[in-house]
Chains A and B, each alone.
Chain A
Amino acid sequence: MLRRMICALVVACAGASYGAPVRTEHVEAELVAARTAIEAGQPILVALRLKMIPHWHTYWRNPGDSGQPTAIRWQLPDGYRAGPILWPHPRRLPAAHLMNFGYEDEVMLPVEIAVPAGASGSAVLRAQANWLVCNEERCIPEEAELALTLPVGPGEPSVWATALERTRTTLPVKAEALGDWQFSAANGPAHVELSLIPPAGVAATSFTYFPFDEGKIHNAGVQPFERDGKGFTLRIPKAQEPVGAFTRVSGLLVADRALGDGTSRAVEIDVPITRAAPAAVASALAVAMLFAFAGGLILNLMPCVLPVLSIKVLGFAGGGGDRGAMRLHGTLYALGVVASFLGFAVVLLALKAGGAEIGWGFQLQSPAFVALLAILFLALALNLSGAYEFGSLVPARMAAARSGHARTDALLTGVLAVAIASPCTAPFMGAALGYALAASALEALAVFAALGIGMALPYLTLAWHPQWMRWVPKPGPWMVRFKQVLAVPLYATVLWLGWVFTIQTGVLPDAAAAHARSGWEPYSDVRLAALAKEGKPAFVDFTAAWCVTCQVSKQLVLGRPEVERDLRSRGVTLLRADWTRRDAEITRALAALGRNGVPVYAFYLPGREPQLLPEVLTRAAILAVLERN
């Protein structure tokens, strides 16, 4: 039997506080009080102090995937009553792919004991304490009989006063006590999304959730934490084997720093998950759709969309004065955009349902698709340069047929614009898409539709209110030159697609060779896990050759020697996850971060949740994370 029963004999000594630590194989245990005496009628704080030998831990009230919370059974004099254990906030303690919640080194488990008004003489506070103490290899249940004798009367702070005061700063406080927080929680298929806006003065930059109840969350899962407008969003992975319904986010939020002046790092929260209430779903959906809409608008300005839209502008400019045709044209373009977003969503949902590990931008991971696109663009560019005319291919007498072509053309321009936009995961869009893919099929379709509407709206507006086209230059001889100028970005796009194609097909030295030269290592789960084990920080650049935003960040930020120096001088290992080709490992790593598109820039700090940087990367953002940690 590994069970050990060690009992301390305690002699009550009137006039002096007296207790004795009990030593087991792994723990030193004792009862300690903040003061040297008890005052009649005044509650006193007594703590069970557990000092573990190095690398061994005991458990929090929810022990996580295994383990057992420490328990105290009190035997108190008449009229004395012990309250519950006031649990300090725990730490995450990983064990292989599992996660426990508990304490290493030393922990004080305070209990408030009510003292009767008529107390006199001295009091013997007895407790039987049980705990499970574990390291990564073994678990031992231990117990001890403990006693603390305190005189009743005037006292002074004991030798434990400072330590107990320090313990107070590890005790969670009610969130309301720190000011006005705003919380809401929404239910997704894999995550519960907790949105929070802390009160002013709370300067925390990350929070980790520790649930009071077991069986609700995936304990070992990453909890991505992101700034989201005025507040933050914490994505809490749900249990894969849930026990009971997950209806409330009830537990602790532990921040990376003190939440106020000398106060705790942990707040206690109890937030209902309001998916059942249709209004809440609608609002979560509305927010996602709004983000998607904004993302769609911004897509118009993305370098990989602009060339196509330029053609579109040219279409208006060349459309003459026929209002009806213009409106039809604009409407068809909008329909083309929205329809292809929806079509894309349907395909994505079907593939997702089939379990294929894919993500936004995946169609550009196919070399055949890239080659086709390059040829199409080359054709368009040659057309713009005046190498040939579409019109000359159609006899003048087929006027009716031409109008039919114009419609098809408008629709196709919309479709084309979407096909090209896919690699530009603009700011906001990542989050909206993540939401859409994690949500139900209908919600996903709604979000994709919003994205399409956002993208199509500026042109639809122009088509219906041609008076606003006053700012668009009038047709004239300049058009020929303008057309030729517009061909330039198209040629650039062709070159870029060609470059993507050569990387995908391995014609040119591929990414791995480039990594070796640049001092970036290729990403692998194994390498990342090894760094985490060594306690070394890592920065991962999730990128792809076909992702323009990624390439811009690479040129303007990550490729700059001073940025590389910033990172390397702080011992950060640089990993590049190149998603140019389909890669299941990288897809999974992205999914673990709640993303399915690139760019994603993630700091993996030892013992901490990964921190995501904005998609529009700046040196300042990188430095901010480095300075915080």
Chain B
Amino acid sequence: MRRPIHALILSLAFAAPAALAVTAGEPAPDFALTDLAGKPVTLSNHRGSTVVLEWVNPECPYVRKHYDSANMPNLQKEFGGRKVVWLTVNSTNANHPEFKTPAQMASWMKQKGGAPAATLLDSDGKVGKLYGARTTPHMYIVDPNGKLVYVGAIDDKRSTNPEDIKTSKNHVRVALGEVLAGKPVSVASTTPYGCTVKY
């Protein structure tokens, strides 16, 4: 009986501004956004692949930590090569001073050497709210069956200092390794850290 409720609540979330969240172990709600070239991207199209959702805001110091250090671009390349579909989502509101146009997003991503399968704009925040994305970065992993298997932080060192990356445990790398090896994810949810998503 739980599934229909969940689907119903999620469909309500699309209609209502109220924020709802999703939890590891639950089905990942489908969404449709457009990439920087205006091409539609839906989650359900990638059923059968492992999908990473990464919430991003180029102006956020925590995002900078992981992009300036090439930590995030390297993860995107490493797992992109292993057939993981990496979707980077920017939910910054169009009226917010930190909003980036598709062209600005594309040039920033290029400059940082990022290599996600797609960068998606969610300037009305619908998908961010649907997933309960609170921070940048906020990471989600969806397994090939469309189930969320990881929700939370990129790693276990809450800081803006790139030096901390060397000594931190990258939850996303660990979880992706486990998913690709067909193993259950050992740490399925953590507290995300970063800037507030600028809804």
Contacts and interface: CB of A to CB of B under 8 A. Distances in A.
Contact of A137 (B4, B5, B96): B96
A100 B196 contact: yes
B61 interface: yes
Contact of A132 (B4, B59, B134, B160): B160
B9 interface: yes
Given A68-B159, A215-B191, A240 B20 contact: yes
Interface-central residue, A2, A97, A220, A353, by most chain B CB under 10 Å: A97
Contacts of B8: 354-355
Contacts of B20: 240
Contact of B191 (A96, A132, A139, A243): A243
Which 7 A/B pairs are nearest by Cβ-Cβ distance? Answer: A240-B21, A355-B8, A66-B196, A141-B160, A96-B199, A214-B191, A241-B21
Given A67-B196, A242-B189, 8 more contacts: A2-B61, A3-B160, A66-B135, A98-B197, A139-B195, A139-B196, A242-B23, A243-B191
Nearest to B159: A68
A353 B5 contact: yes
Contacts of B5: 353-355
A65 B196 contact: yes
A139 B96 contact: no
Interface in B150-186: 151-152, 158-160
Interface in B1-53: 1, 4-5, 8-9, 12, 16-23
Contacts of A67: 196
A134 interface: yes
Given A66-B135, A137-B198, A241-B23, A588 B191 contact: no
A241 B150 CA distance: 11
A605 B195 CA distance: 28
Given A243-B191, A354-B4, A134 B152 contact: no
B135 A243 contact: no
Given A242-B189, A353-B1, A355-B8, A66 B160 contact: no
Interface string A436-450: 000000000000000
B190 interface: yes
Contacts of A139: 60-61, 195-196
A68 B196 CA distance: 11
A55 interface: no
Interface residues of A, number: 32
B98 A138 contact: yes
Contacts, number: 89
A138 B23 CA distance: 28
Nearest to A353: B1
Contacts of A513: none
A528 interface: no
B100 interface: no
Interface SS of chain A: helix, strand, loop or mixed?
A: loop
A134 B196 contact: yes
Given A97-B129, A132-B160, A139-B61, A68 B135 contact: no
B193 interface: yes
B138 to A, nearest CB: 9
B3 to A, nearest CB: 11
Interface string B78-117: 0000000000000000001110000000000000000000
Interface residues of B, number: 41
B158 A240 contact: no
Contacts of A138: 59, 97-98
A288 B5 CA distance: 26
A220 B21 CA distance: 13
Contacts of A140: 61
Contact of A65 (B12, B96, B98, B134): B134
A96 B196 CA distance: 9
Nearest to B19: A97
A626 interface: no
Interface string A340-370: 0000000000000111000000000000000
Contacts of B61: 2-3, 132, 139-141
A304 B11 CA distance: 38
B132 interface: yes
Contacts of B195: 66, 134, 139
Contacts of A100: 196
Interface in A1-24: 1-3
A95 interface: yes
A66 B134 contact: yes
A482 to B, nearest CB: 50
6 contacts: A65-B196, A96-B199, A137-B98, A214-B191, A240-B132, A355-B5
Contacts of A242: 23, 189
A65 B135 contact: yes
B136 to A, nearest CB: 8
B21 to A, nearest CB: 3
B194 interface: yes
A491 to B, nearest CB: 42
Nearest to A214: B191
A209 B50 CA distance: 39
Contacts of B17: 97
Contacts of A240: 20-21, 23, 132
